[in-house]
Amino acid sequence: MATSMELPPILMLGPPLFSHLFESRNTHRYRFLKLPSLFKPYSLFEFLETQNTHPSSIQVVLCNPLQPVTADVIRSLPSLSVIATTGSGTDHVDLSECKCRGIQVVAVGGGHECASEDIAEMALGLLIDVMWKISAGDRHVRRRRVPSTNKESFTFPLPSSPKLGGKQVGIIGLGRIGMKVAKRLESFDCIIKYHSRNKKPLVSYTFYSNVVDLASDIDVLILCCPLTEQTKYIVNKEVMLALGKDGIIVNVGRGALIDEKELVQCLIKGEIKGAGLDVFENEPNVPKELFSLDNVVLSPHVAAFTSECFTDTVIHVNL
């Protein structure tokens, strides 16, 4: 039986969102080297040195959307052949460098049924929270350490909107996740409209080829599409202004689908009513201006990381 040091190493980059499960199933096959974050260019070399591992021995990297895998990282691993990442997107990996090197990039979890359902549920949860100000109300109650005898002074933050039922909801990206969001919203009698690369011939929802036109006709905009050159800043200031002062944005796709600086200003100025965000443009950094806003609900990019999704991801990782 091979000793631990004789097993082939796998480099795990970023917060350990599913490493404990993958490790438990594969400790007999691999030696796991876990680096929580790449804070500086030379930290990878220093880390590998402490593990008595030469960079040329690393053939496989496991990561997640919270850890960028840059060209510098890829170039520092001369034998790298596979990068496996959780989630549905690969925009945090330098695909051009991988293509030049012939490195296979595999996204596991996000395209599977379990993850799609989890992300759809998160989208709905964020939307309901923003509309009813659940998190804001919770903070308000917790701040009231001493009960007031003056009932008039005990005022809760009022919900942003009367109710979810019957709202007109626009979905950008009517793929696997977008369809699951739509089906859940149907149970609230919402009217679904959508924008995608192409019109879906078997879908009865109203299709819009122009995002501004879609935003003009809805109450809520939910982003479910992947981040590409075509979809970066697909929600810009023009779209936000078209959505209007009563409009709500929910993003469970990627942060850069929205022009984040414009989003912050629109929220502060009341040019849109609220936002529920599981993703951010420069993760893990979040614009500090959002922290004090009660019309915003923030989540740390965890929509696809339930325990069930972890298990599903591990099953589909076949290295």
3-state secondary structure of 276: strand
**Does residue 283 have an active-site annotation?**
yes
State how beta strands 220-223 and 206-207 pair: unpaired
Active-site choice (31, 117, 254, 262):
254
What are phi and psi for residue 128, nearest 5 degrees?
Answer: -65, -40
Using CA atoms, how far apart are residues 120 and 305, in angstroms rounded to an integer? 12
Using CA atoms, how far apart are residues 209 and 237, in angstroms rounded to an integer? 18
CA 251 from chain centre, in angstroms, equals 8
For residue 223, list its beta bridge partners: 172, 251
Active-site choice (31, 92, 195, 301):
301
Using CA atoms, how far apart are residues 203 and 120, in angstroms rounded to an integer? 18
Using CA atoms, how far apart are residues 47 and 49, in angstroms rounded to an integer? 5
Look up residue 218 and give its two tokens. Answer: 């809805």
Compute the chain's Rg from CA coordinates. Answer: 22
Residue with tokens 């036109």: 213
Active-site choice (23, 97, 283, 289):
283
Using CA atoms, how far apart are residues 127 and 170, in angstroms rounded to an integer? 12
**Does residue 197 have an active-site annotation?**
no
Question: Contact 227/91 with Cβ under 8 angstroms?
Answer: yes
Per-residue exposure over 8-45, b if at least 16 CB sit within 10 Å of its own CB, e if not: ebbbbbbbbbbbebbbeebeeebbbbbbeebeeeeebe
**Does residue 143 have an active-site annotation?**
no
* Cα separation values, 103 from 26, 53, 78, 79, 177, Å: 22, 21, 11, 9, 27
Catalytic center residues: 254, 283, 301
